[in-house]
Amino acid sequence: MAKAQQQSEETQQVNSLTSLTNLQNNNDFMVSSGLPAKAHLALLKEEGVAYVVDLIPGDRSQEIMNTAELGLNYFNVPVEWEKPVLTDFLNYSAFMQRVDRGSEKVLTHCKLNWRGASFTYLYRVNVLGEDENMAKKDLLAIWQPNPTWYAFMEGVIAHYNAINSTDNAMSFDAAIPKTES
């Protein structure tokens, strides 16, 4: 009974996507955000989202149940915040290849959309060949990657440059950590 009441209260509180942390439409088929509530997922489904890519590590059983109940396809790429690696992005990219870009939408999310914004930036630039400046604008609207994530992103870009014979580069710098004086 308590669970049903909690879900009812959640649904009452979430009646639009404006309450979804750092929600961003990246292109015609990609959306990214912070951690969605089940009610957010239902609203996203109404907007055409068919796939949910969750970048959060750990026990994701609640989200698996939520997406299954809503008829959404779920995929988890557990990306450690302090140690993202190339294989994380390659797994993400392999999953994204399954999506019919003409008729299906994908939500990529994490807790605050920092991982999500980084992954969607990388996918747009390296796989879809979108303009880096446009993808950068979207990324920086969400967050300025810290040195760990900047290095990870540089590594992914270097990988794709090597296999595609391209010379993509990020046109921004890593956020400089604040030091105490």
pLDDT digit string (tens) for 67-113?
Answer: 999 999 999 999 999 999 999 999 999 999 999 988 999 999 999 99
Is the C-alpha dihedral spanning 101, 94, 168, 141 positive or negative? Answer: positive
pLDDT of residue 177: 59
pLDDT of residue 42: 97
pLDDT of residue 1: 44
Find tokens 């990657």 and name the residue. Answer: 145
pLDDT averaged over consecutive 10-residue blocks of the chain (181 residues)? 46 76 95 97 96 98 98 98 98 95 95 98 96 94 96 96 88 66 48
For the segment(s) 20-164, the CATH number from 1.10.1060.10, 3.30.300.30, 3.90.190.10, 3.40.640.10 is 3.90.190.10
